[in-house]
Amino acid sequence: AEPIRVLVTGAAGQIAYSLLYSIAKGDVFGKEQPLVLVLLDITPMMTVLEGVVMELQDCALPLLREVISTDKEEVAFKDLDIAILVGSMPRREGMERKDLLKANVKIFKSQGAALDKYAKKTVKV
């Protein structure tokens, strides 16, 4: 089978981290489906993300053909089959809910535009 391209945003965060192994070992898309994992996070998290990439590579998972880590939407969203959008800004002390929503709207608006521009038109989100 041809590998599918699967994006996980916020890939250096705890939520994404808890999903990556299950995706890579075949629990999500099937035990026969090879995949390319594309990991997107913000620039300050890239060193943490490199550690995540090394862990995935150390597992030598047979379905995992490639791991791509990036902080660039044009790289992350290119030719995607699946997008798992879990990256967002966490609520900080003193932050009201409306402030949090406003910050996260920017993130998801940008990612929506990137999906439209770069991903396959058949992408599942």
Instruction: Burial-class residue 105 by CB neighbours within 10 Å (0-12, 13-18, 19+).
Output: exposed
Domain boundaries, the chain: 4-118
**Span 4-118 CATH architecture:** 3-Layer(aba) Sandwich (3.40)
Per-residue pLDDT tens digits for 73-102: 999 999 999 999 998 887 788 888 888 888
The answer to whether residue 124 scores a pLDDT higher than 90 is yes
Are the beta carbons of 32 and 1 closer than 8 angstroms? yes
Q: pTM to 2 decimals?
A: 0.91
Per-residue pLDDT tens digits for 4-53: 999 999 999 999 999 999 999 999 999 999 999 999 999 999 999 999 99
